[in-house]
Amino acid sequence: MIIDSSPLCPSQSVSSLFTLRIILLLFLLTTILIPWLYDRILSNVYSFLAQSTLYRLSIFETLETVFCYGYIEASFITQFVRNPSLRIDIRRTSKGADSGSTLEHPKRPRMRRPSRRLSEVVLYVAPLLVLDFTLVKKYANVSVADIRRSGGYPSFHDSVGSNFLAPSFHKFSLTSPLQLWRALPTEPPSSRRLVLELITAVFIYDGLFFFAHLAFHRIRFLAYFHKPHHQHGEIHPQVTDQLSVVERLTLVLLANFSLNIIGGHVLTRTIFIPVFVYLLIEIHSGMDLHFGFEKILPQGWATGAKKHAQHHREGDGSFAPFFCWWDYGLSIWDDFRRNVHHVKRRQKRTLSSI
């Protein structure tokens, strides 16, 4: 994982961003408009993966998520420690910060060592492994017969369908004690399908988590489960996974739903995981990165680390993780409600004075 670290002057930054935008735009246009360009590479990659024992394991996506998170978070932490000038949430007094910290010479906040975070890994992995080992995996473009056989059922067993909204338990037996394998599609997706599914899933997740996040803040009994995420001083990459079990499961299940509801190909899911993890850690990075997600997209489209750090300081606004549109709508709605409330209060005062 390469994260920008070298200081750039304003003109260099603008030029580099423009170049990066052009490259990404050309890549997206070719994947969507000329998908045959990528047929061979996608076919070779998917053929290699589909024949891999590791890739066919039911727990592959859980393992991939843990690996991606560990690697990407470590990359951001290295950047955070080595480049204090990029930090955006330095505080005079910060819970857990090193003593002697000042705004001129900031000390880094105390971060947990990997050896002391094993409980986090267990808390994250345990419920997901339970689901992996007990539920039949259902992916798009996989025959119902293959899905049934992967779950330990005869291919003609009609109690197991392909609809992910109707979860099916594995048929536990001595010969098949757990859901160990997943049935995969025989063909890879086109680049057009892969890219469009990836973009759509990110958009759907952004909207779903906006409403879940808003509920965590504005519904009192749910706020209890969200509270651990805001118990820190200066925001830093490790805050990403500072979650209660309830919130962590919510995050994972919403991501899974976003992929399932559009019938995402299993290769789309494989690529979605590192993209999703990267974006989540970036908004919690506590750094103003030269090539941050919000700078690559047109101005005002994306949330970014600065707005999310402000959300962690103030506990309000920027509820959507990636894009700004839901929060713009919420701001308009809140203003409308306040105006209606003020009008009603004035009317009451007018009536009481008559």
Residue 103 is predicted with a pLDDT of 53
**How many Å from the N-terminal Cα to the C-terminal Cα in the chain?**
70
Element (H, E) at 226: helix 220-226
Residue 99 is predicted with a pLDDT of 46
User: What does each C-alpha distance from 351 to 105, 292, 338, 341, 343 come to in angstroms?
Assistant: 60, 54, 20, 15, 12
Residue 5 is predicted with a pLDDT of 53
Pair 147, 138: CB distance under 8 Å: yes
Length of the chain: 354
Q: For residue range 143-189, what is the model confidence (pLDDT) as tens digits?
A: 999 999 999 999 887 778 888 888 899 999 988 899 999 999 999 99
Element (H, E) at 200: helix 191-218
**Residue 323 φ/ψ, nearest 5 degrees:** -120, 165
Domain ranges of the chain: 10-323, 325-354
Q: For residue range 253-269, what is the model confidence (pLDDT) as tens digits?
A: 999 999 999 999 999 99
Q: For residue range 68-102, what is the model confidence (pLDDT) as tens digits?
A: 999 999 999 999 999 988 999 887 654 544 544 55
Residue 3 is predicted with a pLDDT of 53
The per-residue pLDDT of the chain, averaged, comes to 89
Q: What DSSP string describes 264-330?
A: --HHHHHHHHHHHHHHHHHHTS-B--TT-HHHHSPTTSB-HHHHHHHHHHHS-S--SSSBSHHHHHH
Residue 307 is predicted with a pLDDT of 94
When pLDDT is averaged across residues 104-122 and rounded to a whole number, the result is 76
Place of tokens 């053929």: 47
Q: What is the pTM of this model?
A: 0.88
Structure tokens of 22?
A: 């052009």
Q: Where are the alpha helices (DSSP H) in 37-190?
A: 39-50, 53-56, 60-82, 118-134, 144-150
Which amino acid is residue 196, in one-letter code?
A: L
